[in-house]
A and B are shown apart, each in its own frame.
Chain A
Amino acid sequence: MPEGSPHPYIPATEADRARMLARVGVDSVDALFDDLPAEYRDPAFELPPQLTEPELIALLEERAAVNADPGRPNFLGAGAYRRSIPSIAGYLTSRSEFVTAYTPYQPEISQGTLQSAFEYQSVVCELTGMDVSNTGLYDVASSTAEACLLAARATRRSAVALLEPVHPGTVDVVRAYARGAGIRVDVVRAGSDVTDEHACLVAQQPDFLGTIADLEPLAEAAHAVDALFVTVADPFALGLLRSPGDAGADIVTGEGRDLAGAPAFGGPSVGLFAARQQYLRQMPGRIVGRTKELEAPPGGGEPRTGYVLTLQAREQFIRRERATSNVSTAQALIALAFTITVQALGPRGLREAAELCYQRAHAAAARVAALPRYDVTDRGPWFQEFLVRGPLPAAELARELAARGITAGLDVSDRAEPEARDAMLFAVTEATPDAHVDTLIEALAEIGANS
């Protein structure tokens, strides 16, 4: 950019500044900072040189090209799944009135955000079988941590039980939140391990190793000791699976990112958080409610329907240190994309897509299992992820596949479950191209033959 030229993001010119400074009554922009301690003023600091827009695009394109090719066969799941996202989800979510708005503090000019959030809450309640939902938290793990804090408040107990196999990231985040609140985290191996010390039992659906959990006996185990039952559910799988609410869950959390768009190395995400009615006033995060205009519109007629942030007495900006959570900015735009995807699929599409995912994953697993020297572990009914054991240790198998241009499933060989020993967790979804599965089968056969 030529020296002295105004920056495209900063409209004021030198002439503007001179006029404004004169009106303010100071000599220079620097003089506006005279309250700052002289000793520390205007520090030397270094950033990479400024780029013009074409230079910026070129640099970022170069960097993007250093990542794995977007078309590379990739069998990782373990909390992030490739989905077929309807084109309209990205299209509508990129409308600037949605993208460039702040949190809807002024409902009269924020009905787009607010009514969309009400749609989101409705969709989440339908999928999870819960009575109430907030507008979304950061991601599934932080939502689950908030669910544990809610359970501890509601039961006045100071321990929580997480049922294995659960995502290790979820355990880690729950531990971080729990430490602050003085809550003990027990990672348990069976639903029967929950005791009357626990505020809740948390179970993942499908579990971390891919198996579909039978939630009802777990809910009964939790309720038998007056603990809450929290389900961490994949909302896409809920197109096919029994709703956690129907099975007895008190709180349901989940990850909405996969139905919102591409994984982007893990975020932004959106953490689903829904609960039974009785926990409404203990919920963290923003909640949108439906109401009417105070007065009929100037043109006449009845007061119209509108949406507002509600039950704000739970929130940090009103309640400060007595709030249910410190959440302020969350993940509204990702929640919007999630909502549009689910609604575009509709009741039949969601079921069809979930069944397609199930069929493709099972067909791929059957092909792997049919290869000499490979096993697919039977852990009961499963949805989209399966455990594979091959002729080589997991890490070596991953390297061999990488050498053939394939990203293997997750190495879970260090987990405690006996079925996971030496195993890799492969994910195949409705969006995994057939050609990628063919490539995988070919490569596994070749590795099997040569090792």
Chain B
Amino acid sequence: MSVVRPANEDFGAQLSFDRSAPGRRAVDVPSWGGEETPLPDAHLLRDSVRLPELSQGSLVRYYTALSARNYGIDSGTYPLGSCTMKYNPKVDDLVASLPGFATAHPQAPVEEAQGTLRILLELRRGLAQVTGLPHVSLAPAAGAHGELAGVLMITRALEDRGELATRRRILVPDSAHGTNPATAAMAGYSVTEIPTAANGSLDRDALARELDETVAAVMATVPNTLGLWVQGIEEFADLIHDAGAYLYGDGANLNAIMGRVRYGDLGFDVVHLNLHKSFSTPHGGGGPGAGPVACTEELARYLPAPIVVEDDDSVVRLETPERTIGQLQQFHGNVGVLIRAYAYMRALGAEGLRAVSGQAVLNANYLRVLMHGHYDLPYDRPVLHEVVFSGTRQRREHGVRTYDIAKRLIDHGFHPPTVYFPLIVEEALMMEPTETEPPEAIEALADAMIAIAAESAEDPETLHGAPWTAPIGRLDEAEAARRPVLRWQPPDDE
């Protein structure tokens, strides 16, 4: 944020529509000098459309002011757990916008897109190396889209095995991202929750108890959302396979283990990756991302189309797997994002990706020891990429909630951590510094959190009202949901 608006201006009340002045315009359109073809019959046409009329300069100022009311990774440390908010290299944006890539038409003959296709091919091969799973589809647009692909692939496989009618359950740990159960349900399965053991790993006995001929798959996040390794996951894989089920991997936390251990080697059948996390493509305030899905030989024939393959004549083509689940987008996936991810992979190489996971894990542990003692740490042991503290002490002793702590962190110049997740940690504060933060930034973050812990004892009111320095104060979310206002309306209609 570069600008703090004066308190007396209600900037949010003035949308572009409200700033409109009839007769102004931001761009001009060439006039048609040729012969006029009559327009279609009037009943097929519209009279007018209500859109704002602003000059070019006014529109630029409006959106520039809006951007100043946002906080990105370029603004400062963004320890949003499980979201892997690391620095996004600018060269990735530069190369993805080269006109040769940008203008490629999705229906163009493959001969006209060999540059793009070769990049996709090499990215596909690279992701196979990183995951240890030989087959990859780059088609899904985001992590949850990749999850849907993976679960639908399992559906197809069960169909071919003649077991789809009986295998109707998917087991999901209670620490899982919400997308896991939502995906399973979207694909028509019922969800059974598996509890977390006292050591933060999956409860082996509970898993073994639930595994039977009604289970289609187990969805596991490795490392899990507590930032911990799932002890015995390779053994769980055997149990799951012995029961005739598949092991699905949520690869959201790949950043912790790149180059250290591979999903395929551990026995995962299919896994999705979030390239907007571990491969550092910018998140854009909620996308676009990319959620490639990688799988074993057995499941390869079900992958979502298209698959990028190289022919004997070195021409790269798009192929539809034999028993594909189909396409998940009209075209080939979020190619612009995939080019950025490729550039990231090439800038790091194999050693670089190992250095990434090493530093990410060191940074999370450094934050853990710096904050240790100031907040409760329900799973008090070394972590991988993230650490989950709890604000229970602050709530119990001072009536300060995690929510207040998060908001107060904004006043200290940081983006808050992920809060109230995972669900199994009370008053959770989930922090992931990533490898791109220097130690001094982690120290400053820890100092701020420690100062807030002190404040919660001495001056809880300051926390209850925080943030004080943001462009706007706490908003009435209950009212927003109770009486939804979801679009601009002319003043008379309101």
A binds B: yes
Question: Contacts A92-B67, A101-B70; is A169 near B59 (CB within 8 Å)?
Answer: no
Shortest Cβ gap from B82 to chain A (Å) = 11
Stretch of A24-32, A414-422, A439-447 lying at the B interface:
A24-32
B198 at the interface (CB under 8 A from A): no
A141 at the interface (CB under 8 A from B): yes
Contact B229 A35 (CB under 8 A): yes
Question: Contacts A48-B346, A402-B109; is A121 near B486 (CB within 8 Å)?
Answer: yes
Partner of B108, one of A99, A179, A342, A407: A407
Contact A104 B286 (CB under 8 A): yes
Chain B residues in 8 Å Cβ range of A302:
10
A391 at the interface (CB under 8 A from B): no
Partner of B475, one of A35, A36, A107, A268: A107
B456 at the interface (CB under 8 A from A): no
Stretch of B206-214, B292-300, B477-485 lying at the A interface:
B477-485
A50 at the interface (CB under 8 A from B): yes
Partner of B32, one of A49, A181, A328, A360: A360
Shortest Cβ gap from B432 to chain A (Å) = 11
Contact B51 A345 (CB under 8 A): yes
Would you mind naming 25 contact pairs between A and B with Cβ atoms under 8 Å apart? Answer: A11-B436, A24-B369, A43-B259, A70-B99, A100-B283, A115-B15, A141-B329, A263-B102, A265-B108, A266-B330, A268-B288, A269-B334, A289-B484, A290-B12, A310-B486, A319-B182, A320-B182, A326-B148, A327-B144, A329-B289, A333-B282, A346-B54, A347-B51, A362-B37, A430-B29
Chain B residues in 8 Å Cβ range of A265:
101, 104-106, 108, 113, 116, 331-332, 335
Shortest Cβ gap from A385 to chain B (Å) = 12
Stretch of B87-95, B239-247, B391-399 lying at the A interface:
B87-95
Contact A132 B63 (CB under 8 A): no
Chain B residues in 8 Å Cβ range of A26:
365, 382
A363 at the interface (CB under 8 A from B): yes
Shortest Cβ gap from B73 to chain A (Å) = 4
Partner of B101, one of A64, A104, A169, A305: A64
A-B pairs, 6 with minimum CB distance? A266-B331, A50-B349, A333-B284, A299-B7, A64-B100, A112-B70
Chain B residues in 8 Å Cβ range of A343:
16, 26, 51-52, 54, 59
Q: Output the nearest chain B residue to A34 by Cβ-Cβ distance.
A: B382
Contact B39 A358 (CB under 8 A): yes
Give Cα distance in the complex from A92 to B4, angstroms: 19
Give Cα distance in the complex from A98 to B481, angstroms: 25
Q: Output the nearest chain B residue to A6 by Cβ-Cβ distance.
A: B355
Contact A320 B191 (CB under 8 A): yes
A10 at the interface (CB under 8 A from B): yes
**Most B Cβ at <10 Å: residue of A26, A181, A269, A280:** A269
A429 at the interface (CB under 8 A from B): no
Q: Range of interface residues on chain B?
A: 35 or more
Partner of B155, one of A99, A116, A180, A349: A180
Partner of B91, one of A56, A108, A306: A56
A308 at the interface (CB under 8 A from B): yes
Contact B487 A76 (CB under 8 A): no
Question: Contacts A98-B284, A325-B186, A332-B285; is A11 near B486 (CB within 8 Å)?
Answer: no
Partner of A67, one of B112, B145, B282: B112
B373 at the interface (CB under 8 A from A): no
Give Cα distance in the complex from A240 to B102, angstroms: 27
Contact with B along A104-119 (1 / 0, CB 8 A): 1111111111011111
Partner of B129, one of A7, A20, A45: A45
Shortest Cβ gap from B474 to chain A (Å) = 5
Contact A305 B10 (CB under 8 A): yes
Give Cα distance in the complex from A56 to B73, angstroms: 23
Partner of A108, one of B34, B282, B362, B467: B467
Chain A residues in 8 Å Cβ range of B132:
43, 45
Give Cα distance in the complex from A84 to B287, angstroms: 23
Question: Contacts A80-B106, A101-B71; is A65 near B115 (CB within 8 Å)?
Answer: yes
Give Cα distance in the complex from A167 to B331, angstroms: 11
Contact A104 B285 (CB under 8 A): yes
Contact A167 B330 (CB under 8 A): yes
Give Cα distance in the complex from A116 to B467, angstroms: 22
Give Cα distance in the complex from A115 to B285, angstroms: 12
Give Cα distance in the complex from A430 to B46, angstroms: 19
Contact with B along A299-326 (1 / 0, CB 8 A): 1111111111011110111111111011
Q: Output the nearest chain B residue to A172 by Cβ-Cβ distance.
A: B327
Stretch of A123-131, A223-231, A369-377 lying at the B interface:
A123-131
Partner of A180, one of B96, B143, B151, B346: B151
Shortest Cβ gap from B34 to chain A (Å) = 5
Partner of A295, one of B35, B103, B473: B473
Chain A residues in 8 Å Cβ range of B6:
299
A60 at the interface (CB under 8 A from B): yes
Contact A109 B74 (CB under 8 A): no
B450 at the interface (CB under 8 A from A): no
A17 at the interface (CB under 8 A from B): yes
Shortest Cβ gap from B98 to chain A (Å) = 4
Shortest Cβ gap from B356 to chain A (Å) = 7
Find residues 345-367 in chain A having any chain B CB closer than 8 Å to their own CB. 345-353, 355-356, 358-360, 362-363, 366
> What number of residue pairs across chains A and B have CB atoms under 8 A from each other?
714
Partner of A47, one of B129, B185, B283: B129
Partner of B326, one of A173, A291, A407: A173
Chain B residues in 8 Å Cβ range of A311:
481, 484
A140 at the interface (CB under 8 A from B): yes
Find residues 29-85 in chain B having any chain A CB closer than 8 Å to their own CB. 29-32, 34-37, 39-41, 43-46, 48-54, 56, 59-60, 63-64, 66-75, 78, 80, 83, 85
**Most A Cβ at <10 Å: residue of B24, B29, B54, B63:** B63
Chain A residues in 8 Å Cβ range of B145:
138, 142
Further 10 A-B residue pairs, CB within 8 A, beyond A12-B438, A246-B46: A33-B384, A65-B115, A68-B113, A88-B26, A91-B60, A101-B283, A109-B415, A216-B43, A329-B289, A332-B286
Give Cα distance in the complex from A76 to B106, angstroms: 9
A267 at the interface (CB under 8 A from B): yes
Give Cα distance in the complex from A51 to B345, angstroms: 9
Contact B362 A20 (CB under 8 A): yes
Chain A residues in 8 Å Cβ range of B173:
none
A435 at the interface (CB under 8 A from B): no
Shortest Cβ gap from A322 to chain B (Å) = 7
Chain A residues in 8 Å Cβ range of B286:
102-104, 113, 117, 135, 286, 329-333
Shortest Cβ gap from B87 to chain A (Å) = 6
Contact B87 A407 (CB under 8 A): no
A199 at the interface (CB under 8 A from B): no
Contact A266 B487 (CB under 8 A): no
Shortest Cβ gap from A309 to chain B (Å) = 8
**Most A Cβ at <10 Å: residue of B148, B370, B472:** B472
Contact B330 A264 (CB under 8 A): no
Chain B residues in 8 Å Cβ range of A333:
282, 284-288
Shortest Cβ gap from A172 to chain B (Å) = 4
B183 at the interface (CB under 8 A from A): yes
Contact B329 A142 (CB under 8 A): yes
Partner of A20, one of B30, B54, B366: B366
Contact B346 A51 (CB under 8 A): yes
Contact B107 A179 (CB under 8 A): no
Question: Contacts A70-B100, A122-B487, A304-B10; is A97 near B67 (CB within 8 Å)?
Answer: yes
A37 at the interface (CB under 8 A from B): yes
Question: Contacts A291-B477, A345-B29, A356-B30; is A46 near B129 (CB within 8 Å)?
Answer: yes
Give Cα distance in the complex from A180 to B332, angstroms: 21
Contact B471 A109 (CB under 8 A): yes
Contact A289 B486 (CB under 8 A): yes
Chain A residues in 8 Å Cβ range of B24:
346
Contact B347 A51 (CB under 8 A): yes
Contact A318 B60 (CB under 8 A): no
Shortest Cβ gap from B388 to chain A (Å) = 16
Contact B261 A266 (CB under 8 A): no
B348 at the interface (CB under 8 A from A): yes
Chain A residues in 8 Å Cβ range of B185:
321-323
